[in-house]
Amino acid sequence: MLRITPIAILQDNYVWLLEHNQQTLIVDPGEAQPVLDYLEQHNLKLDYIFVTHKHWDHVTGIEAIKAAFPDSILYGTGHFDIPCRDIALLGGESLELMGLNWKVWHTPGHTLDHIVFHTQTQEDNGVVQDYVFSGDNIFACGCGRMFEGTAQQFHHSLQSLMALPLHTKLYCTHEYTLANINFALHIEPNNTYTLHRQDVSQSLRNNAQPTLPTTVADELKSNPFVRCDQPDVIRAAEHFSGKVMGKPEEVFAVIRQMKDQF
């Protein structure tokens, strides 16, 4: 069974810890000590590190963690010079790690070097479950800032994730859900699913629980950045920009700009 645990780091990041086949993997160690403490408390050694992109809050813990676990192997984006990287990935690769088959996707938009990691397990009842470790690409009810790349690239990256099965679990890095929901309701005030999601997420946070992972289904129902073909989202973009919207990526560009100023 694949066990996935969030380790809270920094202000509002999670390092996802995966255990499968008696092996251990972490994703995006932006800080070392909470990860090292967790591994020690649970008597775990570390086998693998995944890194989605270059930002400091995803890579700062690497050197100390590698020093503590020198045999661990780091698979990271190959579009940028990540510290201590053993295997550079550009997207399109297939990996076999921890008894799981992984696919690496290049998902530019937040940054140009961004990659995500996709795997599947077969549950006891035979159902296939998909998992994506998505860094700062998609967030629950939001997406990363567009630091590099174009709206067209970012929109395309998000759409490729949304083409996965509806029950796919998306493990993003930041606990931004409640703030993202406030913005989503600004764009689509009548979206009853988003209102429901606000209640659920608020009660999770009141109990100091993560609101993550999210799912493709949840995002398709409530995330304005993947709903750029919906009338209320188009209307909000047209109102803000004063222009008639054409393609969904134009809507995406305006909604992203609105979120930056929200």
**Residues found near Zn ion in the complex (CB under 5 A):** 55, 136
Shortest reach from residue 223's CB to Zn ion, in Å: 18
Phi, psi of 249 (to 5 degrees): -70, -25
What lies within 8 Å, CB to CB, of 164 at 6+ separation is 118, 130, 132, 216
Nearest CB to Zn ion, comparing residues 107 and 222: 107
Q: Which of 17, 32, 24 is nearest to 63 (CA)?
A: 32
Q: For Zn ion, give the closer residue by CB, 13 or 168.
A: 13
Query: How far is it, in rounded angstroms, from Cα 190 to Cα 192?
Result: 6
Peptide bond into 70 cis (omega under 30): no
Short-list 256, 59, 239, 14, CA closest to 158: 256
Nearer to Zn ion, 114 or 197 (CB): 114
Q: How far is the CB of 55 from Zn ion (least distance, A)?
A: 4
We find the least distance from the C-beta atom of residue 98 to Zn ion, in angstroms, to be 25
Pairing of strands 23-27, 13-20: antiparallel
**Nearest-approach distance from CB 136 to Zn ion, in angstroms:** 4
69 or 75: CB nearest Zn ion: 75
The answer to whether 26 and 32 have CB atoms below 8 angstroms apart is: no
Closest C-alpha among 73, 76, 101 to residue 91: 76
Residues in contact with 56: Cβ distance below 8 Å, sequence separation at least 6, in sequence order: 30
- Kindly tell me which of 24 and 111 has the beta carbon lying closer to Zn ion: 111
Q: For Zn ion, which is the closer residue by CB, 137 or 214?
A: 137
Distance of closest approach, residue 110 Cβ to Zn ion, in angstroms: 6
Measured in degrees and rounded to the nearest 5, phi and psi for residue 70 equal -65, -20
Smallest distance, Zn ion to C-beta of residue 124, A: 36
